[in-house]
Amino acid sequence: MRLLLINGPNLNLLGSREPSLYGAKSLDSIEIELLSQAKKEGVELDCFQSNFEGALVDRVHQGIGSIDGILINAGAYTHTSIALRDALIGSAIPYVELHLSNIHAREHFRQNSYLAERAVGVISGFGPLSYQLALLGLLSYLRQQQSS
């Protein structure tokens, strides 16, 4: 099984960006931990980050036919990008939306997600642990699908 982790804009700044909201871990260290969790679970994991909406859309498209599931923290594009929503739905690859912060406890404009409605599930508010919880949730969903 092959999974893809997608991180959107500004998540390359994790570690130094608003640590009280997003924690002190860098994206590199979050990815390293997730790669080791994936290895323990016996699945492959590709990691991708971009600050560009079109690059995120292209990466989703590239996953068609090779990626079984997507973990996505789309950053601010969560709240703005119909293009990313369309790419995820169009690819028909199951995805879990995740956020470090609890987007429902923040500004009003963050409380809408264009991605959530069609996600397998949404994890929000657990800091870097959100990534690991999202991986567990996605794997549980995909394994259930495989066995049914």
Contacts with ligand DQA by CB under 6 A lie at 10, 73, 75-76, 78, 99-101, 103, 110
Which backbone phi and psi does 121 adopt, to 5 degrees? -170, 170
CB of 123 to ligand DQA, least distance (A): 10
CB of 27 to ligand DQA, least distance (A): 11
Catalytic residue status for 114: no
Rank residues 115 and 139 by Cβ distance to ligand DQA and give the closer one: 115
Q: What are the structure tokens assigned to 120, written together?
A: 């397998």
CB of 91 to ligand DQA, least distance (A): 20
Burial of 96 (0-12, 13-18, 19+ CB in 10 A): buried
Q: Which of 77, 99, 114, 131 is catalytic?
A: 99
Q: What are the structure tokens assigned to 79, written together?
A: 């709240």
Q: What are the structure tokens assigned to 52, written together?
A: 């560009």
Rank residues 1 and 132 by Cβ distance to ligand DQA and give the closer one: 132
Q: What are the structure tokens assigned to 41, written together?
A: 């679970």
Rank residues 110 and 142 by Cβ distance to ligand DQA and give the closer one: 110
Number of H helices, E strands in the chain: 5, 5
d(CA 129, CA 133): 6
Rank residues 91 and 130 by Cβ distance to ligand DQA and give the closer one: 130
CB of 103 to ligand DQA, least distance (A): 5
DSSP per residue, 48-73 = EE-S-HHHHHHHHHHTTTT-SEEEEE
Catalytic residue status for 99: yes
Indicate which residues carry an active-site annotation.
Answer: 22, 99
